[in-house]
Amino acid sequence: MNTDNLNKSKARSTDNFVLLVISGCISLGIFPFVILRVLQEDYAHAAMNAVAVFITFVLFLHAYITKKSDLTRTGLALLTVIVMTGTIFLKGAQNIHWVYPALTTTFFLLRPKFAATLTLTFLLVVLAMIWQESSPLFLLTFSITATATFLFCYAFSNRMRQQAQFLEQLATTDPLTETGNRRKLEEKLLEITQRIKRNDQLSCSLVIFDIDYFKQVNDQHGHACGDEVLKRFASVIKTRIRVTDSLYRLGGEEFVLILEDTKLFEAKSVAKQLAFEIEQTQWHLKDLRITTSAGIAEYETGESTYEWLERADEALYKAKSSGRNKCRASNENVA
């Protein structure tokens, strides 16, 4: 848990640092132009640059103080497009070269579809502004180069996002059973405990399932058979739970089912039903009979995720000790 949280914190810090550098460089980069425009008595352009410096500095402070990047990303992208549009409006087609860094910056900061919508609008507005003062050849050249840059940025941004999602899925999904892995489980548990701490009226229970005598399955039928049992086990559970519930492979033959907005007695009822479904399931070998034991625990305000899992694990131990193919709650008096 601590390692995953540390990695996430580092990733957020890196992202925030990049935005701080970008916003800081924009502020410092535009400021000299404010002075230059004033000396040139180009007060409209100077005012626009001054506002841009101020807004960028505010976004810089927001990212620095809150450590959150979403608002800064959106703000910087919008500001880039607006300032570039204003520059071309005030100075004419001679400043058309600023379109290209505006495109790349916007796609770097925003999600591909949002960036595409924003930059396409930006390009159409720019074309409308320079239409009257530009030659057909200039308009054709600009249209081709801007479109090529737009398409390249969109394709590159979209590909990078897909790769990031793919890597995230690899890092959080058990490849055999296609359930969440231990890392994803820990993230989910942390998310739930933080949510309940903010609102103690919420409830959540978890169930730890352990396939009974799974070692015998491997020993008697081979590991390939064991893998099929694990996949089928996960599939049976996933097809019989709610959309709001989630299943994770804790390790080996143990799985954790998180039941949100579910009290302890309700969770025990669900666990019993799922255990019955597993017992009645037809497996790929006719003589194969699989059962499961389960330990159930409802989150108690103030405890850590480790303590929550530990109580469910203790209940699972009681279930296995009492003969297996049993479901035990952490507090039988409540259940």
Distance of CA 71 to the CA centre of its chain: 16
Q: Are 311 and 231 in contact (CB under 8 A)?
A: no
Q: Report the alpha-carbon angle 200-254-284, nearest 5.
A: 130
- 3-state secondary structure (DSSP) of residue 178: coil
* CA dihedral of residues 148, 150, 151, 152 (deg, nearest 10): 80
Q: What whole-number distance in Å separates Cα of residue 26 and Cα of residue 83?
A: 12
- 3-state secondary structure (DSSP) of residue 32: helix
Active site (annotated) includes residue 168? no
Q: What whole-number distance in Å separates Cα of residue 166 and Cα of residue 200?
A: 35
What does the block give as tokens for 71?
Answer: 């608002």
Q: What whole-number distance in Å separates Cα of residue 192 and Cα of residue 299?
A: 9
Spot the catalytic one: 253, 260, 303, 314: 253
Phi/psi of residue 255, nearest 5 degrees = -130, 150
Q: Are 184 and 172 in contact (CB under 8 A)?
A: yes
- 3-state secondary structure (DSSP) of residue 327: strand
Question: Quick one: CA dihedral 136, 138, 141, 145, positive or negative?
Answer: negative
What does the block give as tokens for 21?
Answer: 């550098």
Taking Cα atoms as reference points, which of 193, 174, 176, 194 lies closest to residue 184?
Answer: 174
Q: Are 311 and 256 in contact (CB under 8 A)?
A: no
Q: Which residues are catalytic?
A: 253
